[in-house]
């Protein structure tokens, strides 16, 4: 297989052309051209990779290549360009956040609407704006490299631009009455136990969906939170240990939640027996009829559907976590307790996030003090 590299006199960039064999339909020789490399060395490296892919039978026409396939190739290329620690972070963010949402799309079909939906899904998961901007930057950088490699003509991530950082964040929350109304109308939902745990514990969606029955102590009425669900599809998901020590925590439950969990376990055990021929037992608290985890997007979609049906103020699923914390603060619960329930690294993080509640807390404290003084 032969290829050549030369400088484009019109653009000043470097291009390459390579013979990649015969077209099985026409019998004619096929050539692959890629343009726009910044240096001769860059073009030669890309040419060598392409020749190797063809020789190994791994070459995929750009028109058929999925974003997942491309990102796997791109990550392999980045291996020698970054430090080991930076590369590991790049791989983790790409595999856990970008590929599960966008990976199945054909690379050449990717457009700005897909990128916007990607942003929306990250906000729905309750990720910080700084983290979302980091993920956007990774995606945009990979697509810029796809242009250099000739896979794309334009970068859809630059069309929509990175999410704007909002330094004055206000959270949409539900009152206790809102939460009660929602749970009453959600009792027949397949995802009721997910909603119940979110409202009563402030756990993140991935933490709830990664919860196993072994993590629940029915005698002491506690959840021992140890892992998170990273979901790509029914066949590709991971139950990973949570990343930080503060995220590994105990959450105390009340009798109402414990009783619902006991009923839910009975239903799960019956489902396991009924579907024993194809049930895949991951010992999950929240699972489909075949034992696999609930799809996070379906949980969010059902949450929004019920919210709309009963006319409640629309909020993100992750805002149930904020609602839990805010309502506890308004009830006078010590912020240190809330920090431990939510798994924040420090109490300062908790206070910073929920600073909007503090003025009301000060007023309540003053009222309590005045009543105690009885002056």
What global pTM score does this model have?
A: 0.61
User: CB–CB of 240/227 below 8 Å?
Assistant: yes
Topology of domain 176-362 in CATH is hpI Integrase; Chain A (1.10.443)
Measure the N-to-C terminal CA separation of the chain; round to a whole number of Å: 95
Closest CA to 351 of 315, 327, 325: 325
Q: How far apart are CA 226 and CA 205, in angstroms?
A: 14
Helix axis angle, 129-148 to 84-93, nearest 10°: 100
pLDDT at residue 121, as a whole number: 78
Say if 60-169 and 176-362 have the same CATH topology: no
The domain ranges of the chain are 1-59, 60-169, 176-362
C-beta of residue 202 within 8 angstroms of C-beta of residue 319: no
- What 52-55 contacts at long range (C-beta under 8 Å, 24+ apart), as own/partner pairs, is 54/1, 54/20, 54/21, 55/1
Strand 3-7, strand 14-22: pairing: antiparallel
Contact call for residues 194 and 216 (beta carbons, < 8 A): no
Among 63, 74, 69, CA closest to 153: 63
pLDDT tens for the 375 residues of the chain, in order: 678 899 988 888 999 888 877 654 456 677 788 888 889 998 888 888 888 877 776 665 666 789 999 999 899 888 888 778 788 889 999 998 899 889 989 999 999 989 988 888 787 666 777 788 999 999 999 999 998 887 887 899 998 887 765 545 566 899 999 999 999 999 999 999 999 999 999 999 999 999 999 999 999 999 999 888 877 677 778 887 876 676 789 999 999 999 999 999 999 999 999 998 999 999 999 999 999 999 988 999 999 999 999 999 999 898 999 999 999 988 888 889 999 999 888 888 788 778 777 666 666 666 766 777 775
Token pair, residue 19, equals 């013979």
pLDDT recorded at residue 34: 83
* 242-251 residue pLDDT tens: 766 767 899 9
CATH number for 60-169 (one of 3.40.50.300, 1.10.150.130, 2.30.30.60, 1.10.472.50): it is 1.10.150.130
Query: What is the sign of the dihedral through the CA atoms of 192, 193, 194 and 200?
Result: positive
Cα angle 205, 200, 268 (rounded to 5 degrees) comes to 65
């Amino acid at each position: 297989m032969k290829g050549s590299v030369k400088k484009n006199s019109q653009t000043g960039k470097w291009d390459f052309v390579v013979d990649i064999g015969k077209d099985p339909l026409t019998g004619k020789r096929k050539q692959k051209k890629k343009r726009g490399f910044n240096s001769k060395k860059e073009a030669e490296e890309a040419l060598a990779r392409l020749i190797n892919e063809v020789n190994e039978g791994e070459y995929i026409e750009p028109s058929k290549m999925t974003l997942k396939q491309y990102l796997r190739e791109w990550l392999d290329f980045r291996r020698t360009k970054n430090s080991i620690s930076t590369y590991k972070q790049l791989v983790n963010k790409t595999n856990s956040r970008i590929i599960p949402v966008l990976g199945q799309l054909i690379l050449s079909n990717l457009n700005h609407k897909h990128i916007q939906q990607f942003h929306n899904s990250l906000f729905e998961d309750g990720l910080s704006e700084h983290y979302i901007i980091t993920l956007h930057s990774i995606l945009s950088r990979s697509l810029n490299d796809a242009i250099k490699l000739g896979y794309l003509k334009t970068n859809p991530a630059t069309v929509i631009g990175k999410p704007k950082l909002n330094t004055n964040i206000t959270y949409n929350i539900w009152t206790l009455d809102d939460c009660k109304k929602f749970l009453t109308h959600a009792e027949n939902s397949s995802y009721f136990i997910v909603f119940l745990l979110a409202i009563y514990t402030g756990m993140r969606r991935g933490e709830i969906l990664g919860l196993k029955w072994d993590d629940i102590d029915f005698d002491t009425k506690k959840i021992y939170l140890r892992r998170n669900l990273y979901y790509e599809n029914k066949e590709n998901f991971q139950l990973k240990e949570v990343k930080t020590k503060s995220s590994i925590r105990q959450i105390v439950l009340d009798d109402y939640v414990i009783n619902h969990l006991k009923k839910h376990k009975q239903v799960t055990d019956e489902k396991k027996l009924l579907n024993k021929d194809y049930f895949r037992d991951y010992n999950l608290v929240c699972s489909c009829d075949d034992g696999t985890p609930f799809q996070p997007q379906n949980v969010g979609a059902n949450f929004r559907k019920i919210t709309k049906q009963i006319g409640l103020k629309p909020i993100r699923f992750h805002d149930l976590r904020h609602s839990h914390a805010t309502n506890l603060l308004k009830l006078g619960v010590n912020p240190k307790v809330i920090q431990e329930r939510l798994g924040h690294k420090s109490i300062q993080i908790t206070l910073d996030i929920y600073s909007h509640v503090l003025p009301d807390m000060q007023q309540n404290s003053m009222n309590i003090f005045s009543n105690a003084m009885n002056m």
